[in-house]
Every structure is written in C-alpha cells, then in structure tokens.
Chain A
C-alpha cells in the first residue's frame, strides 16, 4: 500500500514532464472538443485560438491598455501592502513583546483574521469613496491580520540569548527592533508579508469588480458585462500567472538564506 514509485529515479523526471504535458494536452483537447460541440451556450467555451488571440490583443493593446489597468491595481496592492504591513508589524511587535498585551488582544486578531473582509467594503466606501482610497484601505485591513499574527508569533520564537545580547549592549528600543528583532524573525515576517500580499491582491481585485472604473478587477467585470468571454479567460489566465508568480517570488525570498552571502 505504500507509495508506488515503481519507476527508477533517473527516468522519473522525464515521466513527470510527460505526465504534465499529457494532462495539459488532454485538457486542451477536451476544451477544443467542447468548444466545437455546440453543447454549451455560444461563446461560453470559446476555442483556444480565440482565447490566444484575446491574450495577444490584451498584452499588445495601445492606450488605456491592460498595462495601465495593471499599473492601477499594482499601485493599490502595493500601497495596501505598505500600510497594512507597517501597521501589522507595529502591532505584532507590541503583542510579541508583551505577554499581557498578547493575552488581552491577540485573541481578537486571531479570530477576526479569518473573517471575510470584503463585507467591510460598503463601510469603507462610505469612508473613502469609490476611488483607489477604498481599495487601498480594504487591502490594508486584509493584509494587516496575517502580518500582525505572524510577527507576534515570530517575536515569541526569538532566542532569549539574542535579546540578552542586545540588552547587554544597552541597545535602545529602536536599535533592538532593527538590530535584533527584525533580523531574528526574518522568516515569520516574510511569511506574513507573503500571506498579506496574497490576500491583499484578492480583496483589491474583488473590490475593483464591485465598484471601480479602473484596475484589472474592473477589466474582468467589464469583460463579463460585455460577454467578451475570450478576453475574460485571457484576463483570468494573466491574473493567475501574476498572483502565482508573486507568491513563488515571495516564497523564494522567504527560503533564501541571508547568511549564504553573495
């Protein structure tokens, strides 16, 4: 019953590649067959050629293009990440440094963290309007929780000897944060930022689909309203590639050993 693995080690990578290519090819065939069958409503399953054409048009479009909307979304996500992560870092450091504060307030963060933040959007709209401010705000709120919880947890894991070293050098609070705490909990901080970035991207895009006149979320919902299915598929493919790529990049950053040197 144990894992099969009847293949020899040197052949396995080739088989893995073949298996992956085979699945992709099979999916494409099934898709193309579905598109040609007429079983679905017209254009719900467009041909792969139409999707590829839409993808090329999307990426090579002229003014007010995909890249302009990408820039808007990127600005909103990065601003949300900056605000949410700085707030999360400060709160996380405070909670991690004080057992009393942690016991008093961390349960609120812990239980509020998994709530669906998009439902705050009507309230945020009333506060910040329908421009980028509301998207940045909801993104910052969403990003805040994983960063704060990760930093608080990471701070409690710092070896006491490192803290004693800092104290023996009479480091100030700021020096302790910069020289001891942050370098010692680089992993949890980067992981928190990674989670924060992921949820910020999702909530900003969702908010753009609800109320916006710019950004990639707006483009997605406009494609739906126009029933431009090839463009909708193309946009989703690009968005997934960007989100997964960003996540992989943050993962590499998290895994990199700072002591390895250049």
Chain B
C-alpha cells in the first residue's frame, strides 16, 4: 500500500484518514448485509446518528463538563501537592535519596485499585473519583519537579547569587521559571493519568460523567449510543493530550 500510495504522491495523512473511512465503509457493508451482527457491532451510520441523541437526551455536554471538572480538580491537587513535595525532595538531598525511589515505585503501582477502599472512606461520591485521579497523577508531578529543579543551569543560579537574591526570590525568579518546561511535562503526564483513571472509575462505580454514561448505555443495551460515547471519550482525551502537548511545545520553543 505504501509504495503504491507514495508512488501516486498521496499525502500520508490523507491515506491514513482514508483508510479509517474505508474501514468504516467496509464495516457498514458487512453489518448491513448481516455478515456481522448489528447487536454486537452497530453500523457506523447508526453510531453517527446517535451522537445528537447522546448530547441532547443523555446530557452529553453536562457529563463532559462533570468529567472535565473532576479532572481539573484532581489536576489542581496534583499541582498543589506535587510541586511542594518535589521541591522538598530537591531541596533536601537526604530526603531525595531516601524517598525518590519510593515515589518511582508509587508510579508503577496500580493505584486505581484502591477505589473500593476510597468508596468506603469517601463514600460513592465525586470525592472518591477526584482522589483516585489525584493519586494517579501525583508521582509524575513530583518526579518531574525534582528533575526540572535539578536541571537548572549552574550559571543561572550564579547570576541570582550575584544579584544577592533571597532564597524566595531565587526560587521564583530563577529556579521555578527554569524548571517550568520539565514541570509542565509532569503536569501533562499527571493530567493524562488523572483523566484515564477518572473516566475508568466513573465507569466502574457507575457515577459521574462520561464513564457513567458508557456504563448506563451499555446496561440499557443501546449499542450504537455506547459506541458514540466511547468515541466521544476518545475525542476528549485526544484533545486534552493535544492541548497539553501544544502547551509543552510553547514552553520549549527551542526543542
């Protein structure tokens, strides 16, 4: 395919999108002609037709805003807790040596499995979901804050010293701006982990925004609308990922 398409000078992005459209067309044909059961995979035309129903009748926009609110609340907690902890680990080398590997281990632990415990502690409420999102996003924020502050160029710190900046001034005028791009990488990773876990827990405990909507529609056996909401969740996470990536590039114009 590549050689033929390239030979005709077809733009690869057009080829990629065209392949997706062709796959959709093939699915439509196979489902309409009963090669595939429409109760398992709905025709793409039905999925597209159900989008307006999902938005108007199932409060799709409200649920999106609910999930977005939970994600930003968890993200704000990640920033408020993660950056100070990262700063402490950087500032006190002994703390870093003692606990940085623990934070790394925390990053690889399946923290989302704590959700039954949080259900007991916080109840079946958005607090449980936000706390799971917060926990999931915390480790990358801490690790990247430490990395960013440690990577500050010696010359910049010396410039601050030559101006006799106080410790607070040194932090806000030199260290924090220099570490900002790396800290933003941590924020991007943290926000992605937050969103993944928040939507996941919404689905698992059937509460909240888009995750709950997926569960509701699946339980009602509304297959087309279930696929439409899954597509909507994918769109939301792609847009968040894209926006964070753009922000990161804006902060790292030289890269």
Main secondary structure of the interface of B (DSSP, over half): helix
Stretch at the interface among B24-32, B95-103, B177-185: B95-103
Stretch at the interface among B55-63, B111-119, B247-255: B111-119
Contact status A224-B116, CB under 8 Å: yes
Query: What residues of chain A lie closer than 8 Å to B242, measured between beta carbons?
Result: 111
Residue of A nearest to B37 (CB): A126
Residue of B nearest to A216 (CB): B113
Question: Which residues 113-150 of A sit at the B interface, judged by CB distance below 8 A?
Answer: 114-116, 118-123, 125-127
Question: Which residues 109-161 of B sit at the A interface, judged by CB distance below 8 A?
Answer: 109-110, 112-117, 119-121, 150, 157, 160
Q: In the complex, A15→B199 CA distance in Å?
A: 42
Q: How many residues of B contact A (CB 8 A)?
A: 67
Contact status B94-A243, CB under 8 Å: no
Query: What residues of chain B lie closer than 8 Å to A229, measured between beta carbons?
Result: 117, 120
Query: What residues of chain B lie closer than 8 Å to A101, measured between beta carbons?
Result: 1-2, 12
Q: A16-B97, A104-B15, A202-B112 are in contact. Are A112 and B234 (CB under 8 A)?
A: yes
Contact status A105-B238, CB under 8 Å: no
Residues 201-224 of A, flagged 1 when their CB comes within 8 A of B and 0 if not, give: 110011001100000010011011
Query: What residues of chain A lie closer than 8 Å to B112, measured between beta carbons?
Result: 202, 206
B91 at the interface (CB under 8 A from A): yes
Contact status A12-B94, CB under 8 Å: yes
B171 at the interface (CB under 8 A from A): yes
Contact status B223-A126, CB under 8 Å: yes
Contact status A210-B204, CB under 8 Å: yes
Contact status B12-A227, CB under 8 Å: no
Query: What residues of chain A lie closer than 8 Å to B226, measured between beta carbons?
Result: 122-123
Supply 20 further A-B pairs (C-beta < 8 A) apart from A3-B90, A121-B203. Answer: A3-B93, A5-B93, A16-B97, A41-B120, A101-B12, A108-B16, A114-B196, A115-B196, A115-B234, A122-B218, A126-B223, A127-B40, A201-B110, A206-B200, A206-B204, A209-B204, A236-B114, A239-B113, A240-B109, A248-B105
Q: Which 4 A-B pairs have the closest CB atoms?
A: A122-B218, A224-B116, A103-B12, A104-B16
B-side interface residues toward A, CB under 8 Å?
1-2, 5-6, 12-13, 15-16, 19-20, 39-40, 90-99, 102, 105, 108-110, 112-117, 119-121, 150, 157, 160, 167, 170-171, 175, 192, 195-197, 199-200, 203-204, 210-211, 214-215, 217-218, 223, 226-227, 230, 233-234, 237-238, 241-242
